[in-house]
Structure 1
Amino acid sequence: MEPSEVDETLESHGTEIGQRTNSLTRLWEWVLVDGNRVLIATLLSVAVFVLFLFLNEVGIIAFVNDDSTTRLAGGMIAGTFSLVTLVVSINQLILSREFAAAGEARDQLEGVMEFRRDVEGEATVPAAPASPTGLLELLVETIHYRAHALAETVADNEGGEFAELVAKYANTVGESTGRVEDTLERTRFGTFTALSAAIGYDDAWQVYAARHLRGSRRDSLSDETLAAFDELIDALQLFNVAREHFKTTYLQRELTQFSQLTIYAGVPAIISAMLIGFIYADFGGPNISVALLPYVVSALVAVVVSPLALLAAYILRTATVARRTASVGPMLPQKDPEAGPFDVSYDEGDE
C-alpha cells in the first residue's frame, strides 16, 4: 500500500511542528522557533529604530525636550541593569545543574549508558551513534522498520479489515519518519533544525494509536502480532526519551548562549543610554544638530533595547518548545477533546 493511501482517521491528531499550511504560518513558525535568534533580535532593534523615526516624522514624538529625554535615559540605564541581573540569575540556575557529586555523576552516567544499551538492543547495532542527530536518526529508522514489520506480521497472521487498518497506520508512521529522516540527514546537533524535527515528530499519538489497535483485539491476536506491537511501542518510547534528553541539553546550551550575548549587548546598551543623557547635558540644549538628533537618539535607543530584543527572541523559542513538549508519552493536551480516530468509552458488555 502506498503512503498516499493513508486513511484520514489515522492521521496525526497531536502536534506536527513541521507542517505549515501557508506563508503566514511559515513566517510565524520562523519567528517562534526556526529563525536565528540573533537575527530576530537584530530585526527587533532595527524595528525600534525605524519606529522612533516614523513617530518623529509624523509629529507624535520629539527629541528636543532635554528634561524628558534625560529622564528616559536614566530609566533605560536602570532597566538594563535589572535585565543583566536577571540574566545572571538564569545563568546561575543553569550552572547549578552542572554541579554534581561523584555519586550523582555516576548515576547520571549509568542512566545514559543504560539508555544507550536499550537503543542498541532495539536497533540491533553494535553501538549507538555518539552524535545526538545520529542517535535520533537511528531510532527513526527503527520505528519505520518496526511499523512496516508490524503491518506484514498482521497481514500474515490476522488478515481482514484489521490488517488493512494496521497497514494504513504503518503508512502514516512511514510518512512521519520519512519527513524527520530527511531533515535529520541535512542537519547537525547545535542547530535548532535537528531539535525542531525531533519535536515535530508525533510519537505520542503513534504510541496511543498502536496501544489502541493492540488493545482492541488483544484476546484474538497471535503472539507474533503482540510482539510486533510491543517492539514498535518500545522503539517509540525510546525516541521520546532521547528527544527529552536532547531537548534539555539543547535548551541548556541555548540559555547559556543567551546569557553570554546579553552580557555582550548589555555593556553597549548601558553606554548608549549614558550617551543619550550626555547629549542633552549642555544647558544650551542638545550638543548635536537638531536635524541629526532623531537619527542619533533613535540609533542609541535601538542599541539600548538590544538586550530586551535578545530576551524576547530567546524566550519565544524556549517557551514554544516547552509548551509543545509539555507532556510525556501518549498524553496530548494540544488535541481537541473530540478529535481523533477512536471512540473510547466504557464497555458495559465487559461486565
Structure 2
Amino acid sequence: MSGSTEGSSSASGDADAADAGGTDTADTMRERAGENRVKLWLLLRADRLVVAAVLTLAVFVAFVAVAVAISPSLATKVGSSDPVETLFASMITAIVTGATLVVTIGQLVLTQENGPLGDQRDRMDDTLAVRDDIADLTGGPTPTDPAAFLDAILGAAAGRARDLRDSVAGQGDDGDESDRDALRAEVDDLATGLTGNADAVRGQLDGAEFGSFDVVFAALNFDYGPKIGQIERIATEHDDALTDDERGLLDELKATVSLFGPAREHVKTLYFQWALIDLSRLILYAAVPALVVAGLMVTVVDAGTFPGSTLGVAHVTLAVGGAFAVALLPFSLFVSYLLRVLTLAKRTLAIGPLVLRDSE
C-alpha cells in the first residue's frame, strides 16, 4: 500500500473500467491488495445498512440453530428456569451503555468543528491558501464540489504528463542520443500509466456525490505514491539528458501529483466525520426499538407466551432469537460502519511515495 495507497474496485466492474481507460490494473486497490472482489465489496462498497441487516439475520439464524441443536432445548430451559430474563436484562444494560458511548463519539467528532474565532479564521486561511495553490497549477478556479475538486487535480496532472512526453519526444541538448532514448522510454512509461490511471479515476468521479462513499472510493484508485517516486527517479537518473524546460515540466508534474495526496486525505477526513455522525444517529435510532424489545422480553415472555412449534422449532425459540437479533442491531450497525472505516484507514496509512505493500 502506498500513499495513494490502494485504490479500490467495486463488484460491478470498476477494475474493468480502469482497464478500459488504459491504466494498469495494479493501480486499483483490488489488484494491489491481492484480495478477492467479494471481500472488498463487502468491506468497502456494500451499503452499510445492508451489511448490518445481513449480520442481524446471521445472528438470528445462528442463535436458532444452536438453540435447537443443544440439549436440553431453549424451550425446555425456559419452562424450568428464567434464562430469558437474565439474557435480556444484560442486553438492556449493554444497549444503554453503547448508546452513551455513541454520544461521546459524536461529541469528539463535533469538537473538531468548534473553536474560537481566531482558530476558525486560521482554518479558513489555510484552506484558501491551498485552493490558491491548486488554482495556480490547474490554471482555473478551484471547484467547490469534492468530486470536481479531485477531478481538477487529476486533469492537470494528466495534462502535464502529456506535455512532458511531447517535450521529451523532441531533440534535447547536445549529448549521448542513447541517454535521450532511455529518457523517452521512462517518460513515456510514466505518462502512459499516469494519464491512463487519471482518466479512469476521473470517469469514476463523474457524477459521484459526497457522503455516499463514491468520491472517496474513486479517489482510492489513483495510485499517486509510486508515480511521485518515478518522477523523482527520472529527475535524478536522467538529469544530464534533460533540458531546462523539461526539468521545469517535471517539477510542475511532481507538484501537481503531490497535491492529490493532501486533497484526498482532506476529502477522506471529511468522509470519516460524515460517516461517524451518520453512525451515531443510526445507533441512537436503533437503540429505541432494541430497548423496547429487550424490555418486553424481560417483563412479558415466559414458557407459555409462545406455545407450539413450526417445522420442529419451538415458537419461543424463534421469538427469543428474533428479539436477541433486534437487541443486537445497534452493535451490527457499529460493526458494519467500522469495517469500512478501518479498511479505508489501513489502505491510506501513508501519505507520499511510501509503499506499504509488496512492490517491484
Fold agreement, TM-score > 0.5: yes
Question: 1:65 deviation in Å?
Answer: 2.1
SS at match of 2:355: coil
Question: 1:199 deviation in Å?
Answer: 2.0
Aligned mate of 1:289, from 307, 310, 326: 307
Correspondence for 1:215: 236
Q: 2-side partners of 1:89 and 1:290: how far apart?
A: 44
Aligned-residue RMSD, C-alpha: 2.3
Q: Does 1:133 align with 2:147?
A: yes
Matching residue's letter, 1:83: G
Aligned mate of 2:127, from 99, 112, 118: 112
Q: 2-side partners of 1:11 and 1:164: how far apart?
A: 17
Q: Is the 8 A contact 2:279 2:337 kept in 1?
A: yes
Question: 1:21 deviation in Å?
Answer: 9.9
Question: 1:69 deviation in Å?
Answer: 2.3
SS at match of 1:218: coil
Aligned mate of 1:58, from 59, 64, 69: 69
SS at match of 2:307: coil
Aligned mate of 2:355, from 332, 341, 348: 332
* Range with greater deviation from structure 2 (267-276 or 225-234): 267-276
Matching residue's letter, 1:301: F
Deviations 1:109-146 (A, max 9, x none): 11111111111110111x11110111111111111111
Q: 2-side partners of 1:83 and 1:267: how far apart?
A: 12
Matching residue's letter, 1:194: V
Aligned length: 324
SS at match of 1:294: helix
How many percent of aligned residue pairs carry the same amino acid?
A: 28
Aligned mate of 1:273, from 273, 288, 294: 294
* Range with greater deviation from structure 2 (83-92 or 285-294): 285-294
Q: Is the 8 A contact 1:70 1:277 kept in 2?
A: yes
SS at match of 2:74: coil
Q: Is the 8 A contact 1:12 1:205 kept in 2?
A: no
Q: Does 1:16 align with 2:28?
A: yes
Question: 1:267 deviation in Å?
Answer: 1.3
Q: Is the 8 A contact 2:30 2:37 kept in 1?
A: no
Question: 1:12 deviation in Å?
Answer: 8.4
Q: 2-side partners of 1:275 and 1:65: how far apart?
A: 19
Matching residue's letter, 2:194: V
Question: 1:254 deviation in Å?
Answer: 0.5
Q: 2-side partners of 1:287 and 1:12: how far apart?
A: 59
Question: 1:269 deviation in Å?
Answer: 1.1
Which ranges in structure 1 are unaligned for 5 or more consecutive residues?
5-9, 341-351
Correspondence for 2:273: 252
* Range with greater deviation from structure 2 (113-122 or 54-63): 54-63
Correspondence for 1:34: 45
Q: 2-side partners of 1:52 and 1:268: how far apart?
A: 20
Question: 1:186 deviation in Å?
Answer: 3.4
Aligned mate of 1:152, from 143, 166, 172: 166
Deviations 1:231-288 (A, max 9, x none): 11111111111111111111101100000000000111122112222244x5xx3422
1:39-118 correspondence to structure 2 within 5 Å: 39-59=50-70, 62-66=74-78, 67-118=82-133
Matching residue's letter, 1:293: V
Question: What TM-score do you get using the length of structure 1 for normalisation?
Answer: 0.86
Q: Is the 8 A contact 1:146 1:231 kept in 2?
A: yes
Deviations 1:85-109 (A, max 9, x none): 2211111100110102111111111
Matching residue's letter, 2:254: I
SS at match of 1:65: helix
Q: 1-side partners of 2:76 and 2:300: how far apart?
A: 11
Correspondence for 2:205: 184
Question: What TM-score do you get using the length of structure 2 for normalisation?
Answer: 0.84
Q: 2-side partners of 1:331 and 1:19: how far apart?
A: 18
Question: 1:220 deviation in Å?
Answer: 3.9
Q: Does 1:309 align with 2:332?
A: yes
Q: Is the 8 A contact 1:17 1:196 kept in 2?
A: no
Q: Is the 8 A contact 1:137 1:181 kept in 2?
A: yes
Which ranges in structure 2 are unaligned for 5 or more consecutive residues?
1-17, 173-179, 310-314
Q: Is the 8 A contact 2:84 2:320 kept in 1?
A: no
Correspondence for 1:196: 217
Q: Is the 8 A contact 1:16 1:201 kept in 2?
A: yes
Q: Is the 8 A contact 2:306 2:316 kept in 1?
A: yes
